[in-house]
Amino acid sequence: MVRQGWSRRIFIQRMGQSIGLAAISSLPLPNRNELQEVIILHTNDVHSRIEPFPESAGELAGKGGAARRAAYIESVRQQNEHVLLLDSGDIWQGTPYFNVFKGGLEFELMSQMKYDASTLGNHDFDLGIEGLMAQWSKAQFPFICTNYDFSETPLSGKTLPYHIISKGALKFGILGAGIELEGLVPDNLYGKTNYLDPVDPINRMASFLKKEQDCDFVILLSHLGLSHSDPSKISDRNLVPQTEDIDLVLGGHSHTFLEEVVVVQNRKGHPVPINQVGFGGAMIGHLHLTFDVSRKKKRFHCQNCWL
């Protein structure tokens, strides 16, 4: 079940529970030496929430904060050998920290937490491309933008269309899908950035990662939104059925707290999980991937945790 917004009571009931996605595929008792376990932690739409939400924030009061997130990430790393840490955009905008430090503090904190990769959200253009460039060196992690063409902007060559990360015996291919900026962001802020409908570049790059780069697992960092009232607008829900090599979508933009991972079939009829953890860093996505290396099968458990 998916809700725009959230219910604290429901989430508290579900804290500490593991949501098994049996539909992804069950592992038929393989040799334990053939199994690879990876923890995937992820955030989206943190919106410059450096400190926990204030007491005036209702049911979000006291949740989140960079220090608490960093502590959680460190505790997971101490308990697990292979951990991926990813973000799906809208790092900037939302608190006075952004107004004062112009986004640099957010990038520095993420670098200290050792994020592996992020994509760009629409609010990450709020200071224009020049504002992004001014803070770029503080981000010690790559930005993956598969469907933005920055070739005629100062960001040319700064972002990556894909990124490959090895964890143990597994190769992860990371892609990034950005939302259409026209009508959402003032023209002067994104300049000559060329938005490409994500379906074709995502499919081409995912196929390249699987077939030519021998990636075991392809993750899409999406800032498209889980769904839209206008079905003609691309979203995670209607993108997945048009793909075949994406294994997991980590979403953003719609600020959707998911009570459980959404599973959508791709165009080959294979189930693809979509996860999203609301906004403001109140929660962190926590996925436990068990991959059977010999049979190329995978199983997920999901535990999105309040911070």
- Our CA angle for 175, 303, 177, nearest 5°, is 15
Of the listed ranges 166-175, 270-279, 296-305, the one predicted with least confidence: 296-305
pLDDT in tens, 119-159: 999 999 999 999 999 999 999 999 999 999 999 999 999 99
Kindly give the residue spans of alpha helices, DSSP state H, lying in the chain.
8-14, 66-79, 96-101, 104-112, 128-135, 187-190, 199-211, 236-239
Name the band, by pLDDT with cuts 50, 70 and 90, for residue 259. Answer: confident
pLDDT in tens, 9-64: 333 334 333 333 433 444 444 454 588 999 999 999 999 999 999 999 999 999 99
* Eight-class DSSP state of 123: G
d(CA 174, CA 159): 13
d(CA 143, CA 164): 12
Name the band, by pLDDT with cuts 50, 70 and 90, for residue 295. Answer: low
* pLDDT beyond 80 at 5: no
Closest CA to 282 of 118, 93, 41, 51: 51
Distances (CA, A) of 250 to 82, 226, 278, 283, 285: 18, 10, 11, 14, 9
Of the listed ranges 32-41, 97-106, 213-222, the one predicted with least confidence: 32-41
Mean pLDDT to the nearest integer, 179-187: 96
* pLDDT beyond 50 at 213: yes
CB 293 within 8 A of CB 35: yes
pLDDT in tens, 67-101: 999 999 999 999 999 999 999 999 999 999 999 99
pLDDT of residue 12: 35
Percent above pLDDT 90 for the chain: 80
Domains of the chain: 44-306 (3.60.21.10)
The SS3 assignment for 248 reads: strand
pLDDT of residue 229: 86
pLDDT of residue 238: 96
* pLDDT beyond 50 at 8: no
